């Protein structure tokens, strides 16, 4: 493993994604001050080598970098305005890895810059398994001169890091990417369910389509049918992975962005509607590929 210069990291938000990300910072030999509203999350972070903080203000005091992983735009706006910016040293590099709306990302960036900080929106792709393994893909929106330092801070958690553009570009890349993912997974699930109805073995269909023009990540790397891809959540009853509720959140963000930009995204809207139905049927915590159950008529 690469050796990192000792760096003090404040990590705020230790949920399904943040917990694994903070743990990888600690594994890299960095001093991690971690905070979350959940005592159980703090206990888990402590077991992974992080030092629990009693508040955001305590966590960010003296930090070289602040990393946040929060639920939504309002949380990010509030935490930065009320707790990070007033208490972090001006030299700290601020990196928000939450998936939020582009407008909020740009607003927080402007506020941080006005207060004398360097800031990046850096949402991630890869799900909980990649968060734990340190193999996430990061999409960064930042001032170009700041990118090398951001890339270095992110590296213990990352398989690949892209600078998507200026502030807000990271969020734009994330929601567009996940709109592609949500739509393609629905197409794969429809095809697998149809193959089954037509008497074609879905595993054989996977083999054929994976080497034909239907090939895509949702089919070959994350197959929703159990068996062909041993590491896919379909082999553990769709537990873990990327929750349906999170996919629905990202599709909603994409539709909101499309409406504000005057862009047409009709397939994204259809995908949002289908995942909303699946979420309301009680599958919000299951991996999003479990939507195969909807097309098979098997909602067990």
Enumerate the active-site residues: 174
Q: How far apart are CA 294 and CA 185, in angstroms?
A: 12
Around Cβ 300, how many Cβ atoms within 10 Å? 4
- Point out which residues pair with 140 in neighbouring strands: 163
């Amino acid at each position: 493993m690469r050796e990192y210069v000792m760096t003090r990291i404040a990590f705020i938000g230790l949920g399904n994604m943040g917990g694994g990300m903070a743990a990888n910072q600690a594994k890299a030999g960095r001093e991690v001050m971690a905070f979350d509203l959940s005592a159980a999350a703090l206990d888990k972070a402590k077991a992974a080598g992080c030092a629990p903080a009693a508040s955001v203000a305590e966590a960010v005091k003296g930090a070289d970098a602040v990393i946040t992983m929060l639920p939504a735009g309002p949380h990010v706006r509030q935490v930065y305005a009320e707790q990070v910016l007033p208490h972090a040293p001006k030299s700290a590099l601020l990196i928000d890895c939450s998936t939020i709306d582009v407008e909020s990302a740009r607003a927080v960036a402007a506020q941080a810059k006005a207060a004398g900080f360097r800031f990046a929106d850096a949402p991630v792709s890869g799900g909980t398994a990649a968060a734990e393994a340190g193999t996430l893909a990061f999409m960064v929106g930042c001032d170009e001169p700041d990118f090398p330092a951001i890339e270095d801070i992110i590296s213990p958690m990352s398989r690949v890091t892209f600078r998507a553009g200026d502030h807000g570009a990271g969020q734009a890349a994330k929601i567009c990417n996940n709109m592609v993912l949500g739509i393609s997974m629905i197409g794969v699930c429809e095809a697998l369910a149809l193959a089954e109805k037509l008497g074609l073995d879905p595993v054989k269909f996977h083999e054929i389509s994976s080497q034909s023009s239907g090939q895509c990540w949702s089919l070959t790397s994350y197959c929703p049918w159990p068996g062909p891809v041993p590491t896919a959540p379909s082999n553990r009853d769709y537990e873990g992975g990327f929750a349906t509720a999170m996919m629905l959140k990202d599709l909603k963000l994409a539709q909101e962005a499309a409406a504000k930009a005057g862009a047409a995204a009709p397939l994204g809207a259809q995908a949002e509607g289908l995942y909303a139905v699946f979420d309301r049927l009680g599958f919000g915590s299951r991996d999003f590929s479990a939507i195969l159950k909807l097309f098979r008529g098997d909602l067990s």
